[in-house]
Chains A and B, each alone.
Chain A
């Protein structure tokens, strides 16, 4: 087999192992969250959604930051590996954004009383979702590799610069339009089980992000190699 293709295959195998391990660890986290952590007295079982909702949000933000940073670096260094990495991170980011945007309302309804509250975190993730989609749609419509890489890099970098402005806009909007809240999620003292679970969850989902990106990167590399060789 072509050595570059072998390299891509090796990356894909590594990615598969990482994903499998991460998923295994996640089932462990599921057990921790569902059984080991205490039930919050005022919010009930629904509070436990937080253990999978918050890490998903973190991973979406991480994925997006990587898209932006890799894009900026690509504009400077012109290394195609950076572009491949950015594209992979964007696709993975969509997956995490979907989890965040579905678990968010499912958590919001029992805890805040409304499916959607335009709060800072949810709104920002919604924007990340749209930015990801715009980024991926643009990529899909450009077929020249160099053009696609450059344009994506620009959109990614600008998207990253946009994020603090979204944050500021939502903050300004919220301070003047306070929402009525049924129950405020409490964060006074976190019992150790909650803290352990939360930290473990963040670590495990980050591993899942890395595994997904590695696997996706391998797929992209294989596709590029094949295209260079002239296959279909």
Chain B
């Protein structure tokens, strides 16, 4: 039985990066729509 590879760090990195991109884009859309709705 081979050992479980210790690569949890990669998983966390990926999940964090994805979240940042989605949140970043969301904020951009939010700000732009805020200005557009005035």
A residues apposed to B, CB below 8 Å:
8-9, 12, 15-16, 19, 23, 26, 30, 33-34, 39, 41-46, 48-49, 52-53, 56, 92, 95, 98-99, 102-103, 106-107, 109-110, 208, 212, 215-216, 218-219, 222-223, 226
B29 — which chain A residues lie within 8 A by C-beta?
Answer: 15, 19, 212, 215-216, 219
Out of B2, B10, B26, name the residue touching A109 (CB < 8 Å): B10
A39 — which chain B residues lie within 8 A by C-beta?
Answer: 4
B11 — which chain A residues lie within 8 A by C-beta?
Answer: 34, 45-46, 48-49
A101 to chain B, nearest CB (A): 10
In the complex the two chains form, what is the Cα distance from A151 to B14 in whole Å?
A: 36
Out of B18, B25, B36, name the residue touching A102 (CB < 8 Å): B18
The 9 closest A-B pairs by CB, nearest first: A110-B7, A46-B7, A44-B5, A222-B36, A45-B8, A49-B14, A106-B14, A95-B25, A12-B33
Total number of B residues with any Cβ neighbor in A under 8 Å: 25
Query: A44, A106, A107: which has the most chain B beta carbons within 10 Å?
Result: A106
In the complex the two chains form, what is the Cα distance from A56 to B25 in whole Å?
A: 14
Is A23 a contact of B22 with CB atoms below 8 Å? yes
Q: A46-B7, A49-B10, A103-B14 are in contact. Are A19 and B21 (CB under 8 A)?
A: no
B23 to chain A, nearest CB (A): 8
B residues apposed to A, CB below 8 Å:
2, 4-8, 10-11, 13-15, 17-19, 21-23, 25-26, 29-30, 32-33, 36-37
B20 to chain A, nearest CB (A): 9
Is B6 a contact of A44 with CB atoms below 8 Å? yes
28 A-B pairs with CB atoms under 8 Å apart are: A9-B37, A15-B33, A16-B33, A23-B23, A23-B26, A26-B22, A34-B11, A39-B4, A43-B7, A45-B11, A46-B10, A49-B11, A52-B18, A53-B14, A56-B18, A92-B25, A95-B25, A102-B17, A103-B18, A106-B13, A106-B17, A107-B14, A110-B5, A212-B29, A216-B29, A218-B36, A223-B36, A226-B36
Out of B4, B23, B37, name the residue touching A12 (CB < 8 Å): B37
Is B10 a contact of A110 with CB atoms below 8 Å? yes
B18 — which chain A residues lie within 8 A by C-beta?
Answer: 52, 56, 99, 102-103
Nearest residue (CB) in B for A51 is B15
A98 — which chain B residues lie within 8 A by C-beta?
Answer: 21
In the complex the two chains form, what is the Cα distance from A213 to B38 in whole Å?
A: 20
